[in-house]
């Protein structure tokens, strides 16, 4: 996974550092802001304005496209796996995809798309899982986009019709209902272009490459008709944040805090590694002493 993601990927959070030591396995991730799930919960009626929801939709879709270009599936697309970048890194307008715990490569060593394995068990999250996930079928790129679409609708209208449904079978039934008589309820308060996007996703075959450009063109239609610019202020941004050159926390520059936290982390890693090395030396000494007395 780490070798597939290159610097050309702009909306996938990369793992710049990692280490495996006896008793310790850790990675150091890029520091990001709040995830989309938390940001949505802070908004009035738990939903974003059309401007913010639309731009999150564009960034989050591009992140999926970049992941697919790396020949990987997420299989767990949801709002809590997206987070906004930091202003200090000039990434506060970008939404990043992270957490690839269920990611899987969808091509073989020759570069060909793998065949469906049929029924493989549940993958994903109940609220955002695709219909194929509910059938326990092997997932592909279309399923990442279906989960993404549910997220898009949720952040646009405030909730999904199956928000309080806990049982997977009931959630599956609600999602099927949303394809028929419940379609208007699902897309309530959403632009008409969302209906076209859902039709595109539902029509995809297992091995088919999604038409991302068509999705972006539909988003552009909504942006143009509503005079939405990509550089507009997000709902969670304060006016002072937009006009100020630097963010502060309690009067202390956030950048300084981040640098201090980074140094502390590096020191903690070094201390932990030193402790492990010391224990290894002690164990080796004891074993040598026991051998001499044997």
Q: Which residues are catalytic?
A: 76
For 213-244, b/e burial (b = at least 16 CB within 10 A) is eebbebbeebbeeeebeeebebbbeeeeeeee
- The CA distance from 145 to 61, in Å, is 8
- The CA distance from 72 to 2, in Å, is 11
- The CA distance from 263 to 55, in Å, is 34
Contact indicator for 73, 103 with CB cutoff of 8 Å: yes
- The CA distance from 82 to 33, in Å, is 10
- The CA distance from 66 to 11, in Å, is 8
């Amino acid at each position: 996974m780490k070798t597939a993601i290159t610097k050309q990927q702009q909306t996938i959070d990369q793992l710049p550092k990692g280490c495996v030591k006896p008793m310790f396995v850790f990675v150091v991730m890029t520091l990001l802001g709040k995830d989309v799930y938390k940001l949505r919960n802070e908004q009035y009626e738990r939903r974003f304005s059309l401007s913010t929801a639309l731009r999150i939709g564009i960034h989050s879709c591009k992140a999926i496209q970049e992941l697919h270009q790396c020949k990987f599936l997420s299989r767990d697309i949801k709002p809590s796996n997206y987070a906004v970048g930091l202003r200090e890194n000039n990434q506060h307008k970008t939404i990043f995809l992270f957490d690839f715990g269920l990611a899987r490569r969808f091509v073989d060593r020759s570069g060909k798309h793998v065949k469906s394995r049929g029924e493989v068990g549940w993958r994903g999250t109940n609220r955002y899982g695709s219909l194929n996930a509910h059938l326990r079928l092997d997932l592909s790129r279309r399923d990442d986009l279906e989960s993404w679409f549910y997220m898009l609708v949720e952040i646009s209208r405030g909730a999904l019709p199956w928000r309080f449904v806990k049982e997977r079978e009931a959630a599956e039934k609600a999602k099927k209902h949303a394809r028929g008589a419940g379609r208007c309820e699902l897309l309530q308060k959403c632009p008409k272009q969302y209906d076209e996007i859902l039709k595109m996703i539902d029509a995809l075959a297992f091995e088919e490459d999604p038409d991302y450009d068509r999705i972006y063109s539909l988003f552009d239609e909504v942006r143009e008709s509503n005079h939405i610019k990509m550089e507009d202020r997000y709902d969670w941004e304060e006016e002072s944040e937009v006009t100020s050159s630097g963010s502060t926390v309690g009067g202390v520059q956030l950048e300084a805090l981040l640098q201090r936290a980074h140094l502390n982390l590096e020191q903690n890693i070094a201390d932990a590694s030193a402790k492990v090395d010391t224990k290894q030396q002690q164990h080796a000494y004891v074993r040598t002493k026991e051998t001499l007395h044997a």
